[in-house]
Amino acid sequence: MNGKKLGSQGLVVSALGLGCMGMSEFYGPTDETESIKTLHRALELGITFFDTADGYGWDDVGPGANERLVGKALGKNRHEVQLATKFGPLRSRTESLGLNGTPAYTKQACEASLRRLGTDYIDLYYLHRIDPKVPIEDTVGAMAELVKEGKVRFIGLSEAPPEQIRRAHLVHPITALQTEYSIWSREPEIEIIAVCRELGIGFVPYSPLGRGFLTGSMTSAEQLGADDWRSHNPRFSETAFQHNLKIVEEVKRVAKANGCTPAQAALAWVVAQGDDMVPIPGTKRIKYLEQNAASLDIKLTKEDLEQINEISPVGATYGERY
């Protein structure tokens, strides 16, 4: 897999990353052994960009289970990979406890992530969500100090609006913005992608498969278990689900025309949106990891792209993201 420059500060990552969140929480039962095998297989496929966060997963040790898993699986290959993690949201095992973007907590959170990941530096450190009580300049200023100390190589933002991106970038160059982007989540096209391109900030689409919806494997919201976060998500209510199936039908049509799976067609669409994009589809199974990696070989036609744009323009999806 070819490397790709992410942003304009020198970070090079694999053209496709791996979102690791579901290996520890949110999407039904987890299996650490299978997840570790999946992480190792990713390396074999040339995937070197791995995304986690301090708020993903909770085990007997406490929060940060996903960071511990990623660190355990990739520790021997630390020099070959680019680790991205995030901080900001506070939580207990069962509920959100707000946000903390204070400079003191920024440094405290980084130290904790370094311990869990088993490393002395983080390649890309994101502010996961902006704390409205703390000026973005203060939070990013603390992140910049972590760069000076060698604990962080590059910094990023997640789900940040244009004004905050600009303010943050004045304090320290932002290497990447991570936000949800897919065929059914196209809101970043309104302004955010343009701002990133203006400032030389790389774009990292998460949930590029619409949290699994665009894979075409689901036909009803009733398929989701009670321990699956999507069962409480507005877009996966039965009414929204049935309304949005027309988007999946178009993705299936494009997939059939290109001899690939719907998931591969959906990923190929994201990749086609620009060379500055590095999607991070999440999976905890080798089978789907291999399919995702193969999507880089699929080149959708101009007609394919136009048909998808027609059936799923910005705002066409029924239901809020959260």
pLDDT of residue 254: 95
Instruction: Give dist(CA 177, CA 220) in Å, integer.
Output: 32
pLDDT of residue 212: 86
Q: How confident is the model at residue 96 (pLDDT cuts 50, 70, 90)?
A: confident
56 is a catalytic site residue: yes
Distance of CA 43 to the CA centre of its chain: 18
Residues 6+ apart with CB under 8 A from 300: 254, 258, 265, 268, 269, 272, 308
Domain span at 83: 3-210+274-299
**What is the tally of structural domains in the chain?**
1
Phi, psi (deg, nearest 5) at residue 190: -65, -45
pLDDT of residue 39: 98
Query: Quick check: 59 and 23 in contact, CB under 8 A?
Result: no
pLDDT of residue 92: 87
Catalytic residue among 56, 126, 206, 288: 56
244 assigned to some structural domain: no
261 assigned to some structural domain: no
pLDDT of residue 229: 67
Q: How confident is the model at residue 170 (pLDDT cuts 50, 70, 90)?
A: very high
Q: Tell me which of 231 and 25 has the higher pLDDT.
A: 25
CATH of residue 142's domain is: 3.20.20.100
Assess whether pLDDT exceeds 80 at residue 37: yes
254 assigned to some structural domain: no
pLDDT digits (tens, 9 = 90+) for 258-302: 999 999 999 999 999 999 999 999 999 999 999 999 999 999 999
pLDDT of residue 318: 78
What value does the mean pLDDT of the chain take?
94
106 assigned to some structural domain: yes
50 assigned to some structural domain: yes
Kindly state the greatest CA–CA separation across the chain: 54
Instruction: Give dist(CA 322, CA 301) in Å, integer.
Output: 32
Global pTM reads 0.93
pLDDT of residue 226: 73
Q: How confident is the model at residue 183 (pLDDT cuts 50, 70, 90)?
A: very high
pLDDT digits (tens, 9 = 90+) for 102-119: 999 999 999 999 999 999
146 assigned to some structural domain: yes
The closest of 178, 191, 184, 195 to 278, measured between CA atoms, is 178
- Region 214-236 average pLDDT: 78
The closest of 246, 241, 242 to 312, measured between CA atoms, is 246
- Region 215-224 average pLDDT: 78
91 assigned to some structural domain: yes
171 assigned to some structural domain: yes
